[in-house]
Amino acid sequence: MNADPKTKGVSMIRTTAHPFDSRRPFSGLSWVAVCVTLITLVLFFNPLATWLTKVTSASFAPTPYSSLSLSNTKLAHTGVHTGSTFSLDVENHTSSDQTYQWRADQFNVVIESGSVTVGPGQTSSFSVDATGALPGSLRVSLAGTSIYVTVPVTPRPTPPITTSTTQGGR
């Protein structure tokens, strides 16, 4: 610290004006720089953003996709009986018509297959016949994609055997 006894207890603070000090307004050159920056951003932001989007292969547009779901969502838990028919929905979230090839398989054996065409932004249903399916699970997939739905398959309940008794009367 300061060892001079004459300045004992006196603090020497040196201050300099900060460029953005509220007590000092912008100089003429600072206002010009701010205005030029704002005009440049306003005029060139859209072309610059477009160029950056192309260069980086980025897009703010939603990614097109397709989806597959059970028409009756309860079937995901309860399952379907062997020999029954159930429906699935395909949604096309692209900008053009799509034809989807689908197949239902179990244990790498195709139970049924088919195709369905869906318009852009539309949903279409198709039915799957589980007649050849065994108890377990059945996988319905869209060819050429990793989209699939797995449906539990349960045995068809056997109807109760009814017997009739006739009382012989004389």
Q: Which residues contact 140 (CB under 8 A, 6 or more apart)?
A: 68, 88, 102, 103, 104, 128, 148, 149, 150, 151
pLDDT tens string 2-16: 555 565 655 555 555
pLDDT of residue 148: 96
pLDDT of residue 163: 74
Residues 101-111 have a mean pLDDT of 95
Q: Which amino acid is at 50?
A: T
Q: How confident is the model at residue 55 (pLDDT cuts 50, 70, 90)?
A: confident
In this structure, of 5-14, 64-73, 108-117, the range with the lowest mean pLDDT score is 5-14
User: Per-residue pLDDT for 92 more than 80?
Assistant: yes
Task: Compare 63 and 68 and report the one with higher pLDDT.
Answer: 68
Q: Which residues contact 75 (CB under 8 A, 6 or more apart)?
A: 86, 151, 152
User: Per-residue pLDDT for 127 more than 90?
Assistant: yes
CA 30 to chain centre: 47
Phi/psi region, residue 45 (left: phi>0; alpha: psi -120 to 50; beta: rest), is: alpha
Q: Which of 13, 30, 11 is nearest to 21 (CA)?
A: 30
**Taking the complete model, does pTM exceed 0.75, yes or no?**
no
